[in-house]
Amino acid sequence: MRTYFDLAGRSALVTGAGAGIGAAVSEALAAAGASVLVTDISGDAAAAVAERINTAGGKADSAALDVSDREAAEAAAAQAAALTEGNLHIVVNNAGVTSPAMFPKLTDETFRVTFDIHVMGTFHVTQAALPHIPTDGTGRVINVTSSAGITGTLGQVNYSAAKAGLIGFTKSLARELAPKNIMVNALAPLAATPMTETIRTNEKFAANMMNRIPLKRWAEADEVAGAFVFLASDAASYITGQVLPVDGGMVM
C-alpha cells in the first residue's frame, strides 16, 4: 500500500525554529519521522527545541544560524545533511522578523534588515542546501511567505515587499529545480506566536484582524505545522511553485 506522510530516513533543516511556527514545524517533521536540524539566531532557543524533540522520542540536533550569514548557512546545511548520510531532503525557510511603520516613517535600515532576513536569508540557506538535496523526488524547499505578500497590509510595506519577493523566488526556483525533481513551494501561515502578539492583543488591531479571519480564531502554531508536513511529504510529490495559505480562510 502506498504511504504518503512517512518522513523516516529524511533530514530537514528549519530556520528561525527557536520559537513560534519554526519550533512547531520542527516538532511536526520529527513526529513524522524526519531527523531535524533545528536552527535559530538564538542557539540556546534552537537547542531547547531540539532537546524537547529528543525527549519526546524524535531525532533532532541544533545549531545557531543567523540566516543573513552565508557561511553559517553552509555549515548548517552540511550539519543537517550529516543527519542522514549526506542528504538534506527538506529545507524550511521560516526565519523572519517584522519592523512595522507607516510608509513615511520606514527607514532604509528597517527596509534592509527585513530584506536581509527574509529574502537574502532564504537565498543563502537554499543555495547552501542545494548541493545536498537529493534528486529522487524527496527534495523539498518550503518558503514561508505571508498574506501580507499576497494582499498587502497596512504599515508593512517593507515586510510585504519581502514576502512578495519570496513568492517570485519560489516560483522561479520551482521552474529551475523541476528538472531535478525538487519541489519548491511557499506557505502563508497565520498563527498565535510571539510575532503576532501585538496584533492579537492590542485593542487597536485585534478586532480588525478577527474580522478578516473567516474562521474567527487564531491557530496555534502546531495547527499550521501539519501543512508543512504535507508539503514535505510524498503527498506533495506533484506540487511545485505553489503558495498555500494556511490562515483560517483570510486569503481566498
Ligand X SMILES: NC(=O)c1ccc[n+]([C@@H]2O[C@H](COP(=O)([O-])OP(=O)(O)OC[C@H]3O[C@@H](n4cnc5c(N)ncnc54)[C@H](O)[C@@H]3O)[C@@H](O)[C@H]2O)c1
Q: Which of 123, 159, 169, 218 is catalytic?
A: 159
Catalytic residue status for 238: no
- Segment near ligand X (CB under 6 A), from 84-92, 183-191, 209-217, 230-238? 183-191
144 forms beta bridges with 187
Cα distance between residue 144 and residue 191, in whole Å: 13
The residue (of 76 and 174) whose beta carbon lies closer to ligand X is: 76
Give the number of residues in contact with ligand X, rule: CB under 6 A: 29
Cα distance between residue 230 and residue 154, in whole Å: 31
195 binds ligand X (CB under 6 A): yes
For the CB of residue 41, give the shortest distance to ligand X in the complex, in Å.
Answer: 4
160 binds ligand X (CB under 6 A): no
191 binds ligand X (CB under 6 A): yes
144 binds ligand X (CB under 6 A): yes
90 binds ligand X (CB under 6 A): no
Q: How far is CA 197 from CA 20, 191, 205, in A?
A: 11, 10, 10
Considering only residues 40 through 69, tell me which ones interact with ligand X, judged by CB under 6 A.
Answer: 40-42, 45, 65-68
Cα distance between residue 89 and residue 232, in whole Å: 9
Residue of 36, 35, 61 lying closest to 48 (CA atoms): 61
83 binds ligand X (CB under 6 A): no
> 94 — phi, psi (to 5°)?
-110, -20
117 binds ligand X (CB under 6 A): yes
165 binds ligand X (CB under 6 A): no
For the CB of residue 116, give the shortest distance to ligand X in the complex, in Å.
Answer: 8
Residue with cell string 501585538: 198
Q: How many CB atoms lie within 10 A of CB 103?
A: 10
Q: Where are the alpha helices (DSSP H) in 130-184?
A: 148-151, 157-177
Residue of 117, 96, 143, 125 lying closest to 240 (CA atoms): 143
Q: Which of 14, 95, 227, 244 touches ligand X (CB under 6 A)?
A: 95
225 binds ligand X (CB under 6 A): no
> Quick check: helix, strand or coil at residue 91?
strand
Q: Which of 194, 207, 238, 252 touches ligand X (CB under 6 A)?
A: 194
Residue 178: all three cell numbers together: 523541476
Where along the sequence are the contacts to ligand X (CB under 6 A)?
A: 15-16, 18-22, 40-42, 45, 65-68, 94-97, 117, 144, 146, 189-191, 193-196
List residues with catalytic annotation: 159
